[in-house]
Chains A and B, each alone.
Chain A
């Protein structure tokens, strides 16, 4: 059965303190590993799509990487406005489903 697991569940950082969020996945026929940001009461906002092991993508303070079993979202020198829940999801061609992990709620304190 396809599964996506994120850790930690919650993360508190001081402004400027870099860290990484983890996403472990078991998705048959992976056709994309996705990262989203979600603010309270809103729909998820697309960040990155990764397709194959070794791939990396960057956007401002965020960098996403992918291995055969995990993906990491690295946050460099975070700011309070980076506070949100970050969701990792995988689309499996075998199931045709897009499933998500539990999310990591990030709080960045000034």
Chain B
């Protein structure tokens, strides 16, 4: 139980295009989804917190117009990187509470490696 499916696993896009990353909770309802960015050999940097049916809360320094987050249902949250540039290349991961914290903690997706060329 408590599985978060994240797609795509990796994507290469041209500079100036947009990329959408999906996170689906497969066997639970995710009212809140956390989105993180991770640079090589660095930790998880919280980008934003999304709540189903409302606007996402972005961390300081994260451009909300560049990183569009939509949490339209209890099982799907999406992150769209708009007008991507090489500096947006990174590893993006989502996380949600999947049930008993003792048993599952916050469940993470498998991550998306974005490369902008």
Contact = CB atoms under 8 A, between A and B. Distances in A.
Interface of A: 6, 32, 34, 36, 41-49, 87, 89, 91, 96-103, 105
Interface residues of B, number: 24
A48 B100 CA distance: 12
B108 A91 contact: no
Contact of A98 (B95, B109, B113): B95
A-B pairs, top 10 by smallest CB distance, nearest first, are A46-B105, A43-B108, A102-B43, A100-B44, A103-B43, A43-B110, A49-B101, A44-B108, A43-B111, A34-B105
Nearest to B93: A43
B114 to A, nearest CB: 13
Interface string B24-68: 000000001010100001111010010000000000000000000
26 contacts: A32-B105, A36-B105, A36-B108, A42-B110, A43-B108, A43-B109, A43-B110, A44-B44, A44-B93, A45-B108, A46-B105, A46-B106, A46-B107, A48-B105, A49-B102, A49-B105, A89-B44, A89-B106, A91-B106, A98-B34, A98-B106, A100-B36, A102-B42, A102-B43, A103-B42, A105-B41
Interface of B: 6, 32, 34, 36, 41-44, 46, 49, 91, 93, 95, 101-102, 104-111, 113
B105 to A, nearest CB: 4
A6 B44 CA distance: 13
Contacts of A103: 42-43
